[in-house]
Each structure stands twice: as structure tokens, then as C-alpha cells.
Amino acid sequence: MIRINQLKIPYEKSRDEQGILMSKIAKKLNIPKNEITSLTIVRKSIDGREKPNIYFVYSVDVSVENEGKLKSKVFGKDVSKVTPVRYNYKPSKTSDEVGKTVVVGMGPAGLFCGYFLSINGYKPLIIERGKKVEERLVDVERFWETGVLNTESNVQFGEGGAGTFSDGKLNTMVKDKFGRNKLVLETFVKYGAPEEITYVNKPHIGTDVLSEVVANMRNAIIKAGGEIRFETKLTDVVVDKDRISEIIVNDNEHIKVDNLVLALGHSARDTFKMLYNKNLYMEPKAFAVGVRMEHKQSLIDDAMYGMNHLESKDRILGAADYKLTAHASNGRSVYSFCMCPGGHVVNASLEEGMLAVNGMSYSKRDSENANSAIIVSVTPEDFDDNHPLSGIEFQRKLEKAAFDAGNGKIPVQTYGDFKVNRMSTEFSTVTPVTKGDVVFADINNVLPESLCDALKECIPTFSKSIKGFDDDGALLLGVESRTSSPLRIVRDNELNANIKGIYPCGEGAGYAGGITSAAMDGIKVFEAITSDGIDL
């Protein structure tokens, strides 16, 4: 296989992508086009450095007739021979050797762990405290419309996990020498996602498509022999000689278990407390909190593509995104997170009397506004003490402050008013696009002063990359508190917790940071359970 990098096509000509790539490849290899026997796009990204000239940049894998006859001079910096990484793990334990496996949680980590256990014949039981995604969508929409919260079926809890109500981003920084990343993307495609997610630089699905993919995977699990039970909450664990022996669900039903996969998600606060009381080793960890910031999507498009592309009718490029980072003089890092082009800010509350926000996009990314979490680093030193659950209490304080500031509605403030600690009274250049009602409030009363100071110092620096980012009319909505888990459940090299047979997994356990990395961790735990020992 031959990999060719840095093939550029002007974006307006990309509708004939395959034809142009074939011509460029033939020229690069100095062969006729008919000698190219296969072409696979490995990566596709946007190069906007020469605005207004915008390019798609490709890396491709190709096979050709008589590869050995290619002249040596065609190989170099951008042309090389490669062996693509393919996932090739094969379980070594039988179903009897593995025993009864229960997966707790049906976010990406639990979904993928349960899926691969099922299609390999291990027949796991997957329990999810929330509802199946179709019913969950109804509960969430009702909450956004009425403000009446279902604490067991919401943006955080239910089939698909918290990522279901997000932009559905699938990019990850995790190194992938085993092919798990590609496997996750290919599995999503198998169950309804667009094929382009396997090669675009920043793949995303969108809430609408992701919910369908999750439901299709659920049906595949059941067809393969796995069992799924919704509205089934883990309420206790029974330990025998430092090993899990059974679990209790819904406070009254006992289930014998040999392996317990804890794919809890980052918001199962009551379950974390129960497990801590059972002496499961945990430790607090650093994470980040802040606000959602809204701008007109046209401002972001103009900064990234140029005005001529903003006015384009075909939208080949799609809504532009960004990634920003800065460091404040008080030592805090400030950065964008989970940026949602053409998206909505959503009320993502979990507990009564507390309020958190998140960002969400549908697959078309076609709303008027762009939004992103603009967050500030926090460490265990910011918490009240070193207790493993102290990060959760830190989150709760912020969420209660946000709820009180907005009286249950999403608190919003213009950036201009935030800078001078003044409550807003009207919108100017940006009007919020949200799921859930908003009300004017002062974000300075929600976040600690040191975090507000870091935001006020660093947001203007982002205008060096995106002109107008610090416009006084831009909006801050709070509070973004669920960026990642505030704790880590400690596990060993075989992915066991200190209680043997318990496998902490995914984002909630502190081993992932998004949909794809959580799914990859679910696959790793599947491997750990079904193997006699491999390099994980």
C-alpha cells in the first residue's frame, strides 16, 4: 500500500473529488490512471491559511498494478509505503472462563464494551439507570420546554450517555497503535453514521444522527445475545474477600456477577459515593469549568474562511470551528472545549436546584450561532479538601450558584457587561440560541473570582486568532461544569480496581475525554476481560 500526503484541491472543485485525486495520484506516481486499482481517503482537512483561497488537503492510501515497478524517485516526503493498522484482537477466554459480566452504563464506553462482548458470544447484561434513547429524547425536550426535570432521564443519564446531546465530536488525541480508533468510527458507520467520519480531520455526527446510531447498536447487541435493562440503577455492590460477587439494583434485586464494568459517565454522583463507601479506591483529579460563549456563526466563518465563503450558497465547507488556548497571569489555563458550530447551548442539569449547560449541534450545524465552552483549569487545590469526592462538591457549588442566579433558567450575560461586573439588560450583536429558557444574570456571581479574572484576561487574546471574538455583544452562559470527571477510580495494569473483578471504564472513571476515547476504553476493557493478558 502506498500513502500519499498533501494532495490539495480548491474547495470549490471538490465535488469532483475522486476524479481530481485520481489525476493527481497518477501524476505523483508517474503512471496512467488505469493502473490505480484502489483509492482510500485516510484524512481530509481544510487549509484556510491563504484566504480567500481555501483548500481541502488529503492523505490517501492507494494500490497500483506492479507496485514493484514504481520508480524509486517517486518516493519521498509525501509518498511512502505503509501497512495500515487494522484491529486484529481475538479473545482467548471462553464464555465459561469469563463468567457473568455486567456493564453499568450505556454511554460510549459501556455501549462499545457491551457490543463487543455480545458479538463475541459472551452475552453480557447491560444496565442503564436512564431510559432508551427514544424515550429519553421526549423527557429531555419536555424539560427544555417546561423546566420540569426528570433526575433519572435527562441530558446526562440514559442510553447514549451525555454525548448524545452534544455536537457528537469523534476526534481524539489518544494514540492508537492497535486500530481501536478506526474500529470505533467504522462501527458507527456500520450502524448509520456517514462514511466521511472515518477520514475527515474533525469528524462529528450530531445529536440527531447519533441517537439513531445508538439505537441501532442496541438492537445489534440484543440480536447477538446481550441483555439490556433500562431504568435499572446500580445501588450496591457485594464484595467477598476483595472480589466482587454480586450487585444490587434498584435497592432490592440481587444479581450474581463475575465481572463488573463501571462505565458510569462523569455525572453518576450518587453511585460514586456508594462505591467510595465500599472502599473502592478513588482520587480527585484536575478538570476545568467555565462558561459557554456564543457568537454569530458568520463571525467565525468570516475569520476562518473569508467573507466570500460566508456568502456561498452551497456551503461545501460547512460551518467553521475553532480551537483556542491561552494562559492567564494567575497560572490558570483558559481554552475552548467542545466547540459547536451552528449549534445550541442546552440546559444540561442533573440535580434539582442545580444548573449546568452544555453545547449541542445537529448534523447540519445550521443554527445562527456558534458556541463553545470557554473553560479554566481547576485542580484539587481549588477544592475544599483532598477527599476523592471533593471535586463533585466543587461542581455542585457552581451549579447551585448558576441555578440561583437564573432562578432555574440559564443565566446569560453579554461579554461587555461581564467585564465590568454589570448585569445585562438587553442583547446587542448576538441573541442566544438555546434549548431551555435564559435570563439575564451576572456570571461574576456564579464562578470564583480567580476564574472570572482568567476569563477576562484571556478572552481578548483570542481575538488575535478570531477578529471580534471579544465583541461586547458576545454572550456568556453558565455554568459549564461537566467537562470531564472530577475523579479517577484507580485501576491496575489489567484494568482491575482494587476490588478484583471491577473494571473502571470510560470518562466517568477518569480514563477518557470524549465519545471516541470513551468507546476505545470500552473496547480495552472488553479485551481485558476476555484475554489471558495482552498489551492494553
pLDDT tens for each residue of 421-432: 999 999 999 999
Average pLDDT over residues 19-44: 93
pLDDT tens for each residue of 88-103: 999 999 999 999 999 9
DSSP 382: G
Mean pLDDT, the chain, as a whole number? 94
Please check whether residue 352 is in contact with residue 361, taking contact to mean a CB–CB distance below 8 angstroms.
no
203-207, 229-233, 334-338, 452-456: which has the minimum mean pLDDT? 203-207
Residues 348 and 435: their CA atoms lie apart, in Å, by 9
Confidence band for 172, pLDDT divided at 50, 70 and 90: confident
125-139, 171-185, 447-461: which has the minimum mean pLDDT? 171-185
CA angle 398, 327, 440 (to 5 degrees): 35
DSSP string over 256-298? E-SEEEE---TT-HHHHHHHHHTT--EEE--EEEEEEEEEEHH
Average pLDDT over residues 284-291: 97
Residues 124 and 522: their CA atoms lie apart, in Å, by 13
3-state secondary structure 404-439: HHHCCCEEEEEHHHHHCCCCCCCCCCCCCCEECCEE
Q: Identify the bridge partners of residue 289 per DSSP, sorted by sequence position.
A: 376
260-269, 308-317, 391-400: which has the minimum mean pLDDT? 308-317
| pTM score, whole prediction | 0.95
pLDDT tens for each residue of 377-416: 999 999 999 999 999 999 999 999 999 999 999 999 999 9
What pLDDT is recorded for position 175?
78
Of the candidates 358, 349, 380, 213, the one whose C-alpha atom is nearest the C-alpha of residue 286 is: 380
Residues above pLDDT 90, as percent of the chain: 85
